[in-house]
Every structure is written in C-alpha cells, then in structure tokens.
Amino acid sequence: MEEVLSQFGLSPGTYTHHRFGSGHINNTFLVTSNFSDEKFILQKINTYVFKDPEIISENIEKASDFLKINHPDYTFIHSIKTVDDKPYALIDGAYWRLSPFIKSSQTVNIASNLLQAYEAASAFGRLTKNLHGLPLKGLRESIPGFHNLELRFMQFQEALQNGNKERIAAEQELTSFYLGQEHWVQYYNDILKDEKYPKRLVHHDTKINNVLLNKDTGKALAVCDLDTLMPGIVISDLGDMIRTYTSVESEESVDFENVKVRLDYIKALFEGFLSQTGPLLTDSEKKSLFFAGPFLIYMQGLRFLTDYFNDDVYYPVKYTEHNLNRARNQAVLLEDYLKKENEIKRLIEEALR
C-alpha cells in the first residue's frame, strides 16, 4: 500500500488506511493523514468487471474537462494524478485510483425517507444536465452492453438452452413470466431506432449509495463511483433509481408480500430528477419515462435468473436459491409497478409541469 500511495505523492508512513464503503465491485479504502485532517478515497479497480480501466479514466477526464469549462462550480469527483501525471497507478497489473474525500459527506444504502430519494435523484439529474452538450465522440462503454436489454434477453435465452437443466425444469412458471415480458425488448429497440432519442453521458449505476449526502442537512453534495459513466440513455439512470429507491423491500428480500412500489417515493425521485433535466429532455425521452421502471426491473430480473440457470457464475450468492429469489423479487416488483401504471404516469406528468 505504501508503494501505491507513493505513486500519488503521498509519503509512506504518514497515512493510514482502512476498508471503506459497502461496494462489492472495487476494493475501496479511506486514506487518512496522521498529521492533519486530509483524507482521500483510494480504489483498486476490479479488472474482471472492467476489462479496460483506461476507458474509465478517459471518460472521467473528458467529463471533468468539459465541466471545468462549462460548470466550474459543480463538484465533480475527479481523479488525482500520479507523480507521472497519470489518472491511475499501475502496479503489478493492478489499477489504483485516488480521489478527494468530500468533507461532511456520508452515504446511505437504503432510501429511508423522501428527502433522500429527492436529493439523490436531483444529484443524478444535475450530473446529466451539466454534461448536456458534451460531444460523445471518443467516449466508450466501460462495460460493453451493460444496459442493453436485447443482449440480456438473448443471454437469458442462451441460458435456457445451455444452462442447468434441473434448475430450468423446476422454474417453468417464473421462466414463463420473464418470457411473457419480451415486449419490453421491442420497446427498447424502438427507442434505439428513434433519431430524436439522444444518447447522453449518464451514470448507469444510480443506487443511493453512489450519492454523497451532507451528514447534517441531508442535501446531496456530489455523485460518486463514476466507473460506469459512459454513453447511454436517460432512462438507465431513472430506471435504476425506480428499482432501488421505491420498493419497501430491497432486491435481497424474500418477503415478497412487501415488495411494492411506494408512490410517494416515485413522486420524490421524478420531481428531483426532472427538476434538473426536464427542460433539456426531448419529447421522445419524456414519452419513455414510465418505461424506465420496466426497463431496469425487467433487465435486472433477467440477469438474476440467467445467472441462476448458469449456476451462479456472475453474482456472489450466499445460499443456493439466492439468485432465484432475487429474480422472483424483481418479478413481483415489476408486476406491482405495472399495476400502478395510471398513478405513476399521473405523477410523471405532474413532475414535468
């Protein structure tokens, strides 16, 4: 660790470090000075998930350069350069990134009140708004196909053909449910064909613990974990918020009776997000806002069930039916969201005014 810190100009022996946060992808550490209140966030990039970490650095640098010119007062968590003026340190094949620690900040893992939902959604909306106008040429996907619903459906079909036959045979009802929702794939493909539906630089991973909140006021300070900042469509960010902020129970819950969409949280997050992005969205984007929920809920459920049929090769599991129950959870959430379609569309229309 001392070798890593020295790459960023931090003197060995003058800083301590410990594991930090609740993320499951990268290894994250809080680095603290022994002689001042100076703190940093250090991350070792997971190269199994991010095959080419240089793409992450390129996307963040281009976004940072754009924001410095167009929105100089916006708090964007940039990477601190190494002593060799690089955005990361490469040591024994491992990529390390250092960034500032935002004072008075905290993260939460669950949206436990409406202010948190509103502030987090507003923070992601502000990021989208401030990056509006950034040329996407030269920006690449750090995880190719990450939110490609057609790809995820194809992977599901492949799992049905080549996966664990015993598991597949036992889950015909759930399989039929996910196959019966295939029309969302066509809706997604129609969006991609719509010339008036723009690609934007969006976050793609808008869980609430990727927003830094002021520990005293609850107000959003900044968006963090920018590894998936890459070209995409606006409903990726909205959909992930709907999927993770609005349910009474998390995706890990097997209390399926309580897996329900909370309309007051729907209202808060749409108001927060659209307070920032409403004026810049095209008519095509506005028409698709309701679809953000099915888009991400359905896609994530597909991914969980695909992994279960493939013997749990992607998502870490704690018990045999873990991925299966996650897929059941998302199916219940999707059904509840669709039952409340009229109410949700009304709240979206109100938030757009």
Query: pLDDT digits over 162-220, tens only?
Result: 999 999 999 999 999 999 999 999 999 999 999 999 999 999 999 999 999 999 999 99
Identify whether 109 is part of a domain.
Answer: no
Whole-number pLDDT of residue 24: 55
Determine the structural domain holding residue 193 and report its residue range: 114-352
- 317 belongs to a structural domain: yes
Question: Which candidate, 31, 38, 6, 37, places its Cα nearest to that of 17?
Answer: 31
Structural domain includes residue 87: yes
| 101, 132, 152 - which closes a domain | 101
Tokens 């520990």 belong to which residue?
215
Task: Tell me the chain's radius of gyration from C-alpha atoms.
Answer: 21
Cβ contact 306:152 at 8 Å = yes
In a domain, 106, yes or no: no
Task: Mark whether 78 and 158 lie in a shared domain.
Answer: no
For residue 125, what is the domain's CATH number?
A: 3.90.1200.10
Predicted local distance difference test score (pLDDT) of residue 34: 85
CB distance 118 to 268 below 8 Å: yes
Domain final residue pick, 67, 101, 135: 101
Same domain assignment for residues 97 and 118 = no
Query: Do 23 and 127 have their domain in common?
Result: no
Structure tokens at 26: 């990268």
Q: Which residues lie across from 211 on neighbouring strands?
A: 223
- Are residues 243 and 144 part of one domain? yes
pLDDT at 21: 64
Domain co-membership, 44 together with 192? no
| Side-chain-side CA neighbours of residue 304 (13 Å) | 23
**Contact indicator for 243, 333 with CB cutoff of 8 Å:** yes
Instruction: Map residue 31 onto helix, strand or coil.
Output: strand
In 10 A of CB 66, how many CB atoms?
18
Claim to verify: residue 92 and residue 118 sit in the same structural domain: no
Do 79 and 193 lie in one domain? The reply is: no
* Residues forming a β-bridge with 44: 27, 96
Residues 152 and 68 in one domain: no
Q: Which residues of the chain have pLDDT under 50?
A: none
Residue 234 lies in a domain: yes
Residue 16's pLDDT is 86
- Here the tokens at position 338 are 């669709």
Count of Cβ atoms closer than 10 Å to residue 222 Cβ: 18
User: Which of residues 101, 129, 145 is at a domain's end?
Assistant: 101
DSSP per-residue letters across 94-115 = EEEEEEEPPTTEE--SS--SHH
Tell me how far apart the alpha carbons of residues 259 and 253 are, in angstroms, rounded to a whole number. Answer: 8
Q: Which amino acid is at 85?
A: D
Amino acid at 175: T
Residue 12 belongs to a domain with what CATH number? Answer: 3.30.200.20
Residue 302: per-residue pLDDT: 98
